[in-house]
Structure 1
């Protein structure tokens, strides 16, 4: 009876020693007599006790590496403090164990060095304006090396780019100057458009007056009255100004001058270079 119990206990110990449970999302490496033998997938697996040994079990899920703030010099010799986050996962657990001694430390050092190199190839302005392009450049550079380590870098995000206080102040002043310049340009453009509209309105008014004089000669007296009224109003406003200067104009000559302007407008309206019969006096 005792030998049977001993055999049962041996078999039970063997079963317990050979059964290995691997969690979902993990993989494990098995060595047999000191050499790589096989990988264990998630679930219940069996190995040979005393002959096989599990040397590594790690997750194949996505992992996050936080790169601490680094002092970096840009292409135009500006010191920046930059930090980033690297998202990665193991795609070949065998390579990740046998190709590099300390995977986490190696990835951290590689990401830090690559970050400095990429920033050094750009000016401060380019660094602030092309963060997405730098993220892609970092991703490509990291994957060229990490492929041999059995890992895949999924994303790289540069989180903060912090220039010195003096540089930040200069950048704020530059942005304020650009905003002020754009406002001045918009204001000048508005004044130009207003002047164009006013000139177009004056041109249209002259055309209407010229057409009225051509078709209705009796409207000349009304026009003279309106011109005289505008002349009086303008003189009144000029007199109210502190810096105004009084200029005397011969009313008789001003009337002749206005007649010449009206006749010229009527001539242009006809389009033949000659005054119309109703537009000349």
Structure 2
């Protein structure tokens, strides 16, 4: 009876001992195992076996991406403006052995390193650059933290500056500066618009004056051409008249008589019935009629002679 109880107890101890040597590690977790106080191996997700009492699990790390909050701190920019800044660091543990033995507290070390790096980098930048160059600041922080955490078995995947706060007085001064800058740009834009409008108006006036001058020049050319044609016509008429007078001495008297008759026709056509027209020189009128008759007679004789010659 006693032997049976002892056997059962011994069997239970063996079962418990063997069961304690079985380690089921969850997915996305790493466990560091020490054997007699020294690093032995790293257990990955799944079924693993260790030697109880001899082996023990020293530390556990998740392989998922972890977020470390950078504590809020005051920093001074290069232009001596005090600002409050905080941020986030994203990292992933890829070497559990280094994370266990190379650093005492990985997350605390990353947070402290991020703070010192932030103070150093912002001290090199002006306030305007700090507010407008977050991407550059994030990239600089990530490179610095990644180089340091590489020996600690971690990989920094991303750094984000979550908030940058400036003093109220500085913020008010920045708003005034921004308003003044906007007003200056508005004034410059308005001045530029007025200048362009003035230039366009001057160009339009110049084009109008040019077109008017061109029109006047063309009108003057047309009038000059008309006068030249009239003068040429009068010149040809005078030449023809001179030739006629040379060939017939009575041609001038014929023309004068023709004009006088035309004038008398106008007087005769007057509506006044109570007027008696007496020529100033009746003998000249009679002489003009005689000359006209002689010219017509000569013209008839010349025509008859020409017809007879033709026959």
How far apart are residue 8 of structure 1 and its match? 4.6
Alignment of 1:158-197 (within 5 A): 158-197=161-200
Partner of 2:120: 117
Residue 98, structure 1, aligned to residue 115, structure 2: no
Contact 2:71–2:111, Cα closer than 8 Å, also in 1: no
Distance in 2 (alpha carbons) for counterparts of 1:90 and 1:183? 54
Whole-Å separation in 1 of the counterparts to 2:117 and 2:211: 74
Moved more, 80-89 or 144-153: 144-153
- CA deviations on 1:145-168 (whole Å, 9 max, x unpaired) are 111111111111111111111110
- The 3-state SS of whatever aligns with 1:166 is helix
Gaps of 5+ in 1: 221-281
Q: Does residue 203 of structure 1 match 2:212? A: no
- Larger radius of gyration between Structure 1 and Structure 2: 2
Give 5+ residue unaligned stretches, structure 2: 224-311
Indicate conservation of the 8 Å contact 1:212/1:219, yes or no. no
Give the whole-Å Cα distance in 2 for the aligned partners of 1:66 and 1:9: 48
Within the candidate set 57, 61, 64, 1:58 is matched to 61
Deviation beyond 4 Å, 4+ runs, structure 1: 3-8
1:144 deviation in Å?
Answer: 2.0
Distance 1:196 1:123, change over 3 A: same
Query: Number of paired residues?
Result: 220
- Give 1:217 deviation, angstroms: 3.7
RMSD: 2.0
Deviation at 1:16, TM superposition (A): 1.3
Alignment TM-score, normalising by the size of structure 1: 0.74
